[in-house]
Structure 1
Amino acid sequence: MKSISQNKSCKAVAAIVAVGLVLAAAILFWKKEPNQPAGEQEHAAAPSEKAESHGSEEGLVRLSAQQIQQAGITTAIAGEATIVTSVQLPGEVRFNEDRTAHIVPRLPGVAESVSANLGQIVKKGQVLAVIASPELAELRSSLGAARTKEDLARVTYERERKLWQDKISAEQDYLQARQAWEEAKIATRTAQSKLTALGVTPGSGQLNRYELRAPFDGIIVEKHISLGEAVKEDANVFLLSDLSRVWVDVVVTPKDLGIVRVGETATVKAAAADLSATGKVSYVGALVGEQTRSATARVELVNPSLAWRPGLFVNVSLVQGSKHAAVAVESDALQTVDEKPVVFVKVPEGFKAQPVTVGANDARHVEILQGLRVGAVYASGGSFVLKAEQGKGSAEHED
């Protein structure tokens, strides 16, 4: 009986050992990923190692000196700067109204020829169109008749004066002849003045030929006349403007009226056309618009290349004041990471994104209130490359 009991105990122990071996094999099997060889598991840790190699320190971008040079990244030293604060105002380029003219015939007639075209540059005195006008023919005929009468009255006066001096005729005849001559001269001057007021000369040839001429150098910006068209004396047939100088109308809110003063220097920029120029404030409106609740100021710009075109929307910058910044960096150095301003500071391994608190700024510098010390070397040019590289590193680390 004792032998039978020992055999049963040996069999139980063997069964327990067998079950343990099966469980151990199952545990080892499930540790492997499905359908993944054991050799590949050894490489599973590679991404973390790669992320660690990019830089385990947050915000660090590892770059060698050669990589920095190839990326075109330049550095500068943080230091003191004078920040010029300014106010930005919207504006629009306009015609210089002092050098813009609506050209009208001033006499009714028919367009006999039109030599000026839209957009053409013309010189002072250049013929723009020729009008055939019956009224002009009458005026020139009246002037001719007045001159003839004046000549006849002068001859009569000289004859009567000689007769009176020789005591052949009475003094009354001499005085009447002199009066007639004076009246004839007045009539001639009146007829001449009418033609002068119209800007025409007595001329020769066709009496009805009326030439429209440019009053100054400029560009034809509007044209409302064609060959054979009947025009009235007050018709606006041409709009001529000298665009060598243009006006910029600036919208000024009441809070900025104290800054905008006549004689101040203004910087005008047009982002759409990539233009920039400086000019002087020549006018500040005395009234605030009832609807717009703003005043109008004017800046005059020299426009030799005719790049500033009327109708172009611009931004006008006026200096408001200046501030001394104890620590400042160049404007291009400032980047935004995670909706926070940062400056990439030079470190032995490359560059590190340093969060900063900014203050005043202008077109060249940004004041740093916190986060950066005087003498710190930072990426002044090409900082956007560092931002992009940091973004890549963050994405790889998340993966």
Structure 2
Amino acid sequence: MKASPHLSPLFRLAALAVLAAALAGCGDKPAAPAEAADAAAQEEPGHADDDGHADADGGPEQTTIPAERAKAAGIVSAVAGAGTIVDEHEVQGLLTPIDGRTAQVTARFPGPIRALLANVGDRVRAGQPLASIDSNLSLTTYGVSAPISGVVLSRQARVGGIAAEGQPLFEIGDLSQLWVDLHIFGADTQHITAGVPVTVTRMADGASQTTRLERVLPGTATASQSTVARATVDNSDGLWRPGAAVRARIVVASAPAAIVVPLTALQTMDGRDVVFVRKGDTYQARPVTLGARDARQVAVSAGLQAGEEVVVEQSYTVKADIGKAGAGHEH
């Protein structure tokens, strides 16, 4: 039987529907939302791995060091804050008794010495008897007393000896204060003036005392061709000894800075100056811009905020740990 020509459009529509369904079944399945998020995270530049070390795209360089391991390694942190950058000069000098605070004890009349009542190093008070001498003139015995309080620096007589008139028997010094004569060379003499602070350090044990320069002497020391700057140190404990060599730092100028860190905090990574900021057990390399510095510390003008905790000892150990983390990341 011949098909009706009015049914052919319906057949054509049905065929088109079947074809569309077939094409949809053969296409790619859409990615699930979670899978799409994972893929995006893997492609995101600068993504840090689990050990905290940045990848090659440039995130922060950091490492994790547990507190016990940090303590064992000697890693010490301190809070960054304001400070003062000083222009200072390192010099050396000698301790000497102050002129006018030493006295000679002499015999008034000639005659044999019957007794000497003090030895070198003894502390004596003004008026204390030091010797007795038989006078050849009066044929009596007279006593010799200390004219000042102080320490016996020398004794130039012996019992049984004959003392001449005016002969020195003892030298006594008041050493409760001492001069420190500092030797300054070359161009430094143009910058160092009276009144500036100076910190004097004993070479024997490293003890220090801060005082001020009293004067710069007008002459030049013949032997060393140096200029002598003089200060006074307190010696009430008797541990500063005349004739001993000392070191000193003379502060010529100073300037305040909003943030300073010790020079021991600085390291260089990839050609940049960095410090290591500590947050808990995490140590992050922080690039910084530096300002003026002195012998112990440097001003930080950018890259660090006051109150942040910075590694100030064993910073190179933290740098090495970050380097090891980076090497492991590359492999």
Interval of TM-score (by shorter of Structure 1 and Structure 2): 0.5 to 0.7
* Residues 105-126 of structure 1, C-alpha deviations (whole Å, 9 max, x = no match): 2433221001101211100000
Deviation at 1:63, TM superposition (A): 0.7
Contact 1:267 / 1:278 at 8 angstroms: preserved in 2?
A: yes
- Note if 1:120 corresponds to 2:52: no
Q: 1:104 aligns with which of 89, 103, 106?
A: 106
Question: Which segment is superposed worse, 214-223 or 252-261?
Answer: 252-261
Report % sequence identity. Answer: 30
Deviation at 1:94, TM superposition (A): 0.9
Deviation at 1:245, TM superposition (A): 1.0
Q: Choose between structure 1 and 2: higher strand proportion.
A: 2
Against the structure 1 CA distance between its residues 324 and 114, is the aligned structure 2 distance closer, same or farther, given a 3 Å change threshold? closer
Deviation at 1:219, TM superposition (A): 0.5
Deviation at 1:229, TM superposition (A): 1.9
Tell me the secondary structure at the aligned position of residue 94 of structure 1: strand
Q: 1:305 aligns with which of 234, 237, 243?
A: 237
Which of the pair has more CA radius of gyration?
1
Q: 2:210 aligns with which of 267, 270, 278?
A: 278
Deviation at 1:208, TM superposition (A): 2.8
Q: After superposition, where does 1:152-191 map in structure 2 within 5 Å?
A: none
Deviation at 1:96, TM superposition (A): 1.6
Against the structure 1 CA distance between its residues 257 and 390, is the aligned structure 2 distance closer, same or farther, given a 3 Å change threshold? closer
Against the structure 1 CA distance between its residues 324 and 393, is the aligned structure 2 distance closer, same or farther, given a 3 Å change threshold? closer
Tell me the secondary structure at the aligned position of residue 256 of structure 1: helix
Contact 2:82 / 2:306 at 8 angstroms: preserved in 1?
A: no
Amino acid paired to 1:98: G
Which residue is 1:180 aligned to?
Answer: none
Gaps of 5+ in 2: 1-50
Amino acid paired to 1:129: A
In 1: Cα distance, 2:324 partner to 2:311 partner: 25
Number of residue pairs the alignment of both structures matches: 273
| TM-score, scaled relative to structure 1 | 0.56
Q: After superposition, where does 1:21-32 map in structure 2 within 5 Å?
A: none
Contact 1:259 / 1:318 at 8 angstroms: preserved in 2?
A: no
In 1: Cα distance, 2:245 partner to 2:287 partner: 36
Q: After superposition, where does 1:1-399 map in structure 2 within 5 Å?
A: 62-65=64-67, 67-68=69-70, 73-78=75-80, 80-135=82-137, 137=138, 207-325=139-257, 327-330=259-262, 333-334=265-266, 343-346=275-278, 350-352=282-284, 360-362=292-294, 365-368=297-300, 372-374=303-305, 377-381=308-312, 383-384=313-314, 387-388=316-317
Amino acid paired to 2:167: A
Q: What RMSD, in angstroms, separates the aligned Cα atoms of the two structures?
A: 3.9
Deviation at 1:98, TM superposition (A): 1.5
Against the structure 1 CA distance between its residues 133 and 353, is the aligned structure 2 distance closer, same or farther, given a 3 Å change threshold? farther
In 1: Cα distance, 2:291 partner to 2:115 partner: 66
* Residues 52-77 of structure 1, C-alpha deviations (whole Å, 9 max, x = no match): x8989998653125544677755345
In 2: Cα distance, 1:342 partner to 1:233 partner: 75
Which residue is 2:32 aligned to?
Answer: none
Amino acid paired to 1:231: A
Tell me the secondary structure at the aligned position of residue 121 of structure 2: coil
* Residues 251-307 of structure 1, C-alpha deviations (whole Å, 9 max, x = no match): 122423344333444221224322221233333211234553321121112221112
Tell me the secondary structure at the aligned position of residue 100 of structure 2: helix
Gaps of 5+ in 1: 1-52, 138-206
In 1: Cα distance, 2:319 partner to 2:197 partner: 42
Q: Choose between structure 1 and 2: higher helix proportion.
A: 1
Amino acid paired to 2:66: S
Contact 1:73 / 1:380 at 8 angstroms: preserved in 2?
A: yes
* Residues 13-38 of structure 1, C-alpha deviations (whole Å, 9 max, x = no match): xxxxxxxxxxxxxxxxxxxxxxxxxx
Tell me the secondary structure at the aligned position of residue 255 of structure 1: helix
Amino acid paired to 1:344: F
Contact 1:220 / 1:238 at 8 angstroms: preserved in 2?
A: yes
Tell me the secondary structure at the aligned position of residue 109 of structure 2: coil
